[in-house]
A and B are shown apart, each in its own frame.
Chain A
C-alpha cells in the first residue's frame, strides 16, 4: 500500500502546529493503524522543552497516539467531535529527539457506547519509547 500522504488533513481536524501525524503507512479501520511522525528541531514546543536539550514532551507522544487512533475510524473525522476520555498505564521508556522517525502503532481493543479503547506504542528504529492505553469518545 502506498503511504497515505494527502489524505491526512481530510481525515483529522487537527492543524499546524498541532497536527502530529505526518503519514499513515498501514490502516485497517476498527482493527489497527500505523502512522509516522518525523521530529525536527523546528517543532515549536522544542524551543522551550528544553533550551539546549530538546526532547518531545511525553504528553505529546500520547497525543500522537490519539491522532493515529483517529485512523481506526473508517470515516473522516473532519468536523467530528472526538475527545480523549482517558489515559491508562502510560509508560515513557526513552525520550524522542529531533531527527527521530517515530512509528505510531495503534490497535483497537474494543468499543462500547461510542467509547473506544486503544492500545498504542511509539517506537523509533525498533526501540519502544512510549506505551499506553487510550480511551477516545466520539460524540
Chain B
C-alpha cells in the first residue's frame, strides 16, 4: 500500500471514528458512500474538513467531492494531484 493511501485510510478511520477498523480492512476500490463503507452526507463533510486539515487540499464543490469520494483510490489520486482529478 502506498504511503499516501495508508495515510488517507488512517485519516478516514480517525476522522469518522470507525473504531476497531484497520487500514487493510478498507478496500482501495470499494465505494465510500452507499455500499462499501456506507458513509453518509455528514461523513462527507467530516472528510472534506479532514482532507483540508491533514493534507492541505480543498474540495471546492460537490462535483469535485463526487469524483474524489468514489473510492480510497480516487481520493488518494485527488490528494496527490488535486488539479488533475
Contact = CB atoms under 8 A, between A and B. Distances in A.
Interface in B1-27: none
Given A85-B42, A111-B45, A115-B44, 16 more contacts: A86-B42, A109-B49, A110-B48, A110-B52, A112-B48, A112-B62, A112-B65, A113-B41, A113-B44, A113-B62, A113-B65, A115-B45, A116-B45, A117-B45, A117-B46, A117-B49
A65 B54 CA distance: 27
Contacts of B52: 110
B49 A135 contact: no
Interface string B63-77: 001000000000000
A114 to B, nearest CB: 8
17 contacts: A85-B42, A86-B42, A109-B49, A110-B48, A110-B52, A112-B44, A112-B48, A112-B65, A113-B44, A113-B65, A115-B41, A115-B42, A115-B44, A115-B45, A116-B45, A117-B45, A137-B41
Interface in A114-139: 115-117, 135, 137
Tell me whether chain B's interface is mostly helix, strand or loop, or mixed: helix
A117 B65 CA distance: 17
Nearest to B52: A110
Which 7 pairs, one residue from A and one from B, show the smallest C-beta to C-beta distance? A112-B48, A112-B45, A110-B49, A115-B45, A113-B62, A86-B42, A112-B44
B13 to A, nearest CB: 17
Interface residues of B, number: 11
A111 to B, nearest CB: 7
Interface of B: 41-42, 44-46, 48-49, 52, 59, 62, 65
The range of chain A's interface size is 10 to 19
Contacts of A137: 41
Interface of A: 85-86, 109-113, 115-117, 135, 137
- Please indicate which of the listed interface residues B41, B42, B45, B59 has the most CB atoms of chain A within 10 Å of its own CB: B45
A95 B23 CA distance: 42
